[in-house]
Structure 1
């Protein structure tokens, strides 16, 4: 309930037979509203975006997924209450859960939670509830695909999993009408290896996500790092590296590690997880599963729910569709009205808290108000990694531009930009200024700040950047007279192929000493190349970062000298390739050095 926001002139006042009370959030699929039925039941209604509704592939799969979601029942999830998948703008209604999300409670690297990491007893109950929820979801042929802390709500008698069965409908649009390399569905820190590598997603993928969610709930940190370190870095760790679970309590660490097995076949099933955790006590006599502070907060949620008025606005429409009424949004209640209503709260709140998981605890398919991207101003079609050559006044410059765009709102940093030239590399953070151009046309306008310059002092901000949709699934970038057509970069194009990894060496031209390169497996934007030059003047070391791995070649930025020696100078941007004879070829884009060949050492 912390995320309730008033209705605006753009919001309908009725959806189907449900009177809207306030807006809960919005995301890649549509808007979510708190509403009440004519009988007084509080529900959550998701209204699909009009552009998605126009896609027949989306509508077909949405229809099928909602039908399957209606069959999901059990203690840890509950059926969809109502839906109209044939309306001009489809919608789905579920009961509203008066409880906080796991992400609200635990917090993150950028925002403190209301409590923090959960104790071990609560973690075991959480794990049991998530396992049982997945058992019910998988039992009707669904895969959640986006299990994350903001899709787990906490109620008095256990967790509730929400937003199941909808991600696949969005996937239909990505496959059929927005086909492009690198489109993945999910939240980067809580994806499975299958998701980050673009493989088929099966029920075992959800089990991996349970492991990540539990590790987060135990420590307050994502086990593979947070997106602030770079989306590709997180995805690389998920696919290739071991999770950080050192701070997880001993009693549940082994279970989490089993869930986080890289091989889907090695992970336990939800049924096996539930059996390992054993049945948990339930009913009125069961001890609380959450700390006392959180139980008290659930009561506050119930009070806020009672304190939400049903605004005036006539009778419901007779057809199950949306209708915007001409009357303005109602004014907030006066202090006297609030006092009259609050006189009944001590008694009523007790009843609501006791019934929080009976009458109101059913899944909200949209996620809670604190969902990772629920309040994002960035359209989903912009999110991802993009790259392309830069033009100036229509003439190629030889420079490259890359953007990594994430969800966020106006005023937040939503993009990281890299500009690569023959002799420099500049990285900037982009803060979202607006989602339209000055003429009102849809576009992202960013205000950038340089965060890394190679060489030092070389880079400066270009002022406002504009990104808008181009043709054939591209983005068009413009800033300070420069433009670029950006193409989406697949995850595989951001990591180093195995054939490059290892140590390579060549003798110095004067026959004394050698030059040694070590290529490491790393995502774009990370150090991938280490150089050691030993010569008559001494020992020189340097490193360089990966810009791109595509077309069988690695593009590496200009080097940074770590340990200098007489005559040791940074090298320009270079391109590495593997020759037919098994040697490594390095070509420099600047005019400082001639091409070089290296033989593998190990």
Structure 2
């Protein structure tokens, strides 16, 4: 695909397939190949090209970056940094909720990632546990900005909504324009999930979760005191009532007993000590395992709605339905970037 030699298939989803590939110099990357049906749409290609241009400007310590792309190719494709790691969804589902200190450290890293993403003019739109990779050198936010291109594929699917129920902001649920404040809402829902093992709006069908998000108060009864106030402020129904990402970063640092300087967070995330012990062992094992060496056959297509598009009355996908290294596309697999 372009100059990259594909060596293994990592997953598939609503937007296409994700492959492990090597650059001419041997660097591993994750290559996302867009489904031909989507790539035939000129509107989709325009959106895809625009979002890739924006995403390539993102340069943060806690993001997995875009390294190459060909939105005009046949098929269209995107290459991102390959990050061996474990998704936050897998970590919590497999080993339980986290204590407040690692949650605060995680939150500060994710807030810093959002700072870099928003500074590039990108809104993530689908921040959730399966879009956060835990690696040996800190967490990574994946799929920033790319999911907006999926909107064109949803236009012909009545009742479809871009995003993940339980983690979407109220304005996103009801179809209003979304901005950086929407990502703040999603980030706080992720932190509630990490600390309690469940999203702040519980479980249920997409309709139930979306209704609670728009009309009901979140259930934060299990959050420890040092997290409660910060998370609650970010879950305000009105976007203008939520803190900015810079304010949130400061609040998370203060709540964690830091000295108020954002740059004191990064050194503490170098290594594995900041994570729960069992999760750290899993991340270390995953990062030291060799990547897949042989390509596997392409997946069969399914009539089910693609991940990230939720049909009314259906059960939403769990926060992280698939495990592995990497980057994903919707719930495409686990790689460094997702297609929606």
Give matches, 1:395-544, under 5 Å: 404-405=313-314
CA contact (8 A) 1:157 1:289 kept: no
CA contact (8 A) 1:27 1:376 kept: no
Q: Which has the higher strand share?
A: 1
Aligned position for 1:384: 311
Provide the aligned length of Structure 1 versus Structure 2. Answer: 304
Pair 138,281 (structure 1): closer, same or farther in 2 beyond 3 Å: closer
Structure 1 residue aligned with 2:162, among 169, 185, 199? 185
CA contact (8 A) 1:125 1:158 kept: no
Query: C-alpha distance in 2, partners of 1:379/1:21?
Result: 28
Query: C-alpha distance in 2, partners of 1:209/1:148?
Result: 7
Query: C-alpha distance in 2, partners of 1:64/1:240?
Result: 34
Give matches, 1:249-398, under 5 Å: 249-278=224-253, 279=262, 280-283=264-267, 288-305=273-290, 308-309=292-293, 378-380=304-306, 383-385=310-312
Are residues 1:105 and 2:80 paired? no
Aligned position for 2:24: 38
Give matches, 1:578-593, under 5 Å: none
Query: C-alpha distance in 2, partners of 1:165/1:83?
Result: 14
Q: How far off its partner does 1:25 sit?
A: 1.6
Give matches, 1:125-136, under 5 Å: 125-136=105-116
Are residues 1:243 and 2:218 paired? yes
Q: How far off its partner does 1:250 sit?
A: 1.1
Aligned position for 2:63: 77
Q: How far off its partner does 1:75 sit?
A: 0.5
Q: How far off its partner does 1:212 sit?
A: 0.6
Which runs of 5 or more structure 1 residues have no equivalent in the other structure?
1-14, 108-112, 312-328, 331-374, 386-403, 409-602
CA contact (8 A) 1:36 1:310 kept: no
Query: C-alpha distance in 2, partners of 1:285/1:137?
Result: 19
Which runs of 5 or more structure 2 residues have no equivalent in the other structure?
254-261, 318-340
Pair 53,250 (structure 1): closer, same or farther in 2 beyond 3 Å: same
CA contact (8 A) 2:109 2:139 kept: yes
Query: C-alpha distance in 2, partners of 1:90/1:65?
Result: 13
Q: How far off its partner does 1:252 sit?
A: 1.1
SS of alignment partner, residue 171 of structure 1: helix
Aligned position for 1:461: none
Q: Deviations over 1:299-329 (max 9, x none)?
A: 21123235x3367xxxxxxxxxxxxxxxxx6
Query: C-alpha distance in 1, partners of 2:197/2:290?
Result: 28
Query: C-alpha distance in 2, partners of 1:213/1:283?
Result: 23
SS of alignment partner, residue 305 of structure 1: coil
CA contact (8 A) 1:137 1:143 kept: yes
Aligned position for 1:159: 139
SS of alignment partner, residue 61 of structure 2: coil
Q: How far off its partner does 1:78 sit?
A: 4.2
Q: How far off its partner does 1:17 sit?
A: 2.0
CA contact (8 A) 1:84 1:90 kept: yes
Q: How far off its partner does 1:120 sit?
A: 1.1
Aligned position for 1:63: 49
Q: Deviations over 1:416-454 (max 9, x none)?
A: xxxxxxxxxxxxxxxxxxxxxxxxxxxxxxxxxxxxxxx
Q: How far off its partner does 1:239 sit?
A: 0.4
Q: How far off its partner does 1:162 sit?
A: 0.3
Larger radius of gyration: 1
| TM-score for the superposition, normalised by structure 2 | 0.83
CA contact (8 A) 1:207 1:259 kept: yes
Q: Deviations over 1:50-91 (max 9, x none)?
A: 000001101001001001100000111143111111102100
CA contact (8 A) 2:205 2:314 kept: no
RMSD, matched Cα: 2.5
Are residues 1:219 and 2:179 paired? no
Q: How far off its partner does 1:282 sit?
A: 3.6
Are residues 1:208 and 2:188 paired? no
Aligned position for 1:195: 172
Q: Deviations over 1:377-402 (max 9, x none)?
A: 624398513xxxxxxxxxxxxxxxxx
Pair 376,101 (structure 1): closer, same or farther in 2 beyond 3 Å: farther
Query: C-alpha distance in 1, partners of 2:188/2:109?
Result: 13
Q: How far off its partner does 1:22 sit?
A: 2.1
Q: Which has the higher helix share?
A: 2
Aligned position for 1:119: 99
| TM-score for the superposition, normalised by structure 1 | 0.48
SS of alignment partner, residue 226 of structure 2: helix
Query: C-alpha distance in 1, partners of 2:233/2:316?
Result: 31
Question: Highest relative contact order (Cα 8 Å, sep 6+), 1 or 2?
Answer: 2
Aligned position for 2:257: none
Query: C-alpha distance in 1, partners of 2:161/2:252?
Result: 32
SS of alignment partner, residue 57 of structure 2: coil
Q: Deviations over 1:132-164 (max 9, x none)?
A: 111111111111111110000112332210011
Q: Deviations over 1:90-133 (max 9, x none)?
A: 000011111100000001xxxxx1x2111111101111011111
Pair 88,103 (structure 1): closer, same or farther in 2 beyond 3 Å: same
